[in-house]
Amino acid sequence: MINFFTSKILAMRRRFGLVRFSPSGYLGLHLTMGVFILIGASWLFGSVAEDVMTGDPLTNIDKYIAEWLHQHRTPGVTVAMQVVTEFASPVWVTCVTVMAGFVLGWKRYWYRLLALVLAIPGGMVQVPLLKIAFHRSRPSFEGGFLIFQGYSFPSGHTMAATLLYGLLAVFAMQAFDGWCQRVCAVIGVFGMVLLVGFSRLYLGAHYLSDVLGAATAGAAWLALTLTAVDVLRRSHHCNIQPLR
């Protein structure tokens, strides 16, 4: 009898595991990955935020990197970083979001449009609230010629880049069939977020922890919204189709 119940429990656990990692099953691999990324990114954000609030060693690294970049700044690279940072500016992000929304609406990809609205505008609303909550001062340097207003943590540009390019990469991965194209999309996202984040450091607008906090907060919000929309879509459709 004990062996019978043991075998039943093992079989149930095996079926549960198969469902959790099934790419086509309802609440399967997509939900598992979404929850995993959400928890991981939220934990990383909490760790960075705690260091910022308590003045842990990460803040010492912040000051060292900020001072080093300020001392080694050159006019040519400064101009290049000013161009790079514009790819996550409010005007650019708003224009790309509106154009993408029109395209998705025209193609009647309603779930993708919902994900776009929740991910980018919904995520960017959190930035000023977080800045007010942490009220961290921006880096300041003697003889600095670039002046930035507002609080420092988290970096709004970095969070915007994470949300915008991360979401576009997800859409691209769903549109592409080959793994090479999907990998290129993921690498492109990391590249854009790294470039935008570094531009904010180089220009003296933010500390390293501001960039890390924004990237992890953006990743957590993106995982939450995409997972929620995917669960909603799968609950409305018996046949699993690409997110539209």
Q: Give the tens place of pLDDT for each residue, 57-77.
A: 888 899 999 999 988 889 899
Number of domains, the chain: 1
Question: Is 166 within the bounds of a domain?
Answer: yes
Question: Is 72 within the bounds of a domain?
Answer: yes
Question: Is 6 within the bounds of a domain?
Answer: no
Question: Is 15 within the bounds of a domain?
Answer: no
Q: Which residues of 78-101 are buried (b: 16+ CB within 10 A; e: fewer)?
A: eeebeebbebbeeebbeebbeebb
Determine the residue type at 178: G
State which residues form the domain around 100: 30-236
Contact between residue 192 and residue 218 where contact means Cβ atoms under 8 Å apart = no
The stretch 153-170 carries a mean pLDDT of 93
Q: Categorize the per-residue pLDDT at 36 as very low, low, confident or very high, splitting at 50, 70 and 90.
A: confident
Q: What is the pTM of this model?
A: 0.82
Question: Is 18 within the bounds of a domain?
Answer: no
